[in-house]
């Protein structure tokens, strides 16, 4: 019940195209859904996040769409650029006792080709 399922495992998109990564969760106690971007040799860095009371959040070229009833959320990268090539992890944060814990998806390796 703590799992976060992510797809696709890898994605190749042409420059200027839209990259879409999907995630699904089971635990309705999750209360915060961040997306992390990870470049090779670096730690995950927060990209954008959403709370379940909002259906969409947009920051620049990055948009999260959230469907609470379906327990699904997705990341859309508009006008994808080669610099966006990285691994993207969706995640869900929930309380565990009095503490919070982030559960990560399996990751999507995005390659944006010129």
Partner 1 sequence: EPEVTQTPSHQVTQMGQEVILRCVPISNHLYFYWYRQILGQKVEFLVSFYNNEISEKSEIFDDQFSVERPDGSNFTLKIRSTKLEDSAMYFCASYRGLNTEAFFGQGTRLTVV
Q: Cis ω on the peptide bond leading into residue 96 (within 30° of 0)? A: no
List 63, 88, 89, 110, residue binding partner 1 (CB under 8 A):
89
Minimum distance between the CB of residue 111 and partner 1, rounded to whole angstroms? 15
What is the C-alpha separation between 28 and 110, in angstroms, rounded? 28
Figure out which of the listed residues 1, 41, 60, 83 binds partner 1, where binding follows CB under 8 A.
41
111 sits near partner 1 (criterion: CB under 8 A): no
Strands 108-113 vs 56-59: parallel, antiparallel or unpaired: unpaired
Residues 11-40 within binding reach of partner 1 (CB under 8 A): 32, 34, 36
Positive or negative: CA dihedral 80, 49, 27, 53: negative
Closest to 10 (Cα-Cα) out of 83, 88, 65: 88
Closest CB to partner 1 among residues 18, 29: 29
Interacting residue ranges for partner 1, rule: CB under 8 A? 32, 34, 36, 41-46, 49, 89, 95-107
């Amino acid at each position: 019940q703590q799992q976060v399922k992510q797809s696709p495992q890898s994605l190749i998109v042409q420059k200027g195209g839209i990259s879409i990564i999907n995630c699904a969760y089971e635990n309705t106690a999750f209360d915060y859904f961040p997306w992390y971007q990870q470049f090779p040799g670096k730690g995950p860095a927060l990209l954008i996040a959403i709370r379940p009371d909002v259906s969409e959040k947009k920051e620049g070229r990055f948009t999260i769409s959230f469907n609470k009833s379906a327990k699904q959320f997705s990341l859309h990268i508009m006008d994808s650029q080669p610099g966006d090539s990285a691994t993207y992890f969706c995640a869900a944060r929930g309380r565990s006792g009095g503490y919070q814990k982030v559960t990560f998806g399996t990751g999507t390796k995005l390659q944006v080709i010129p």
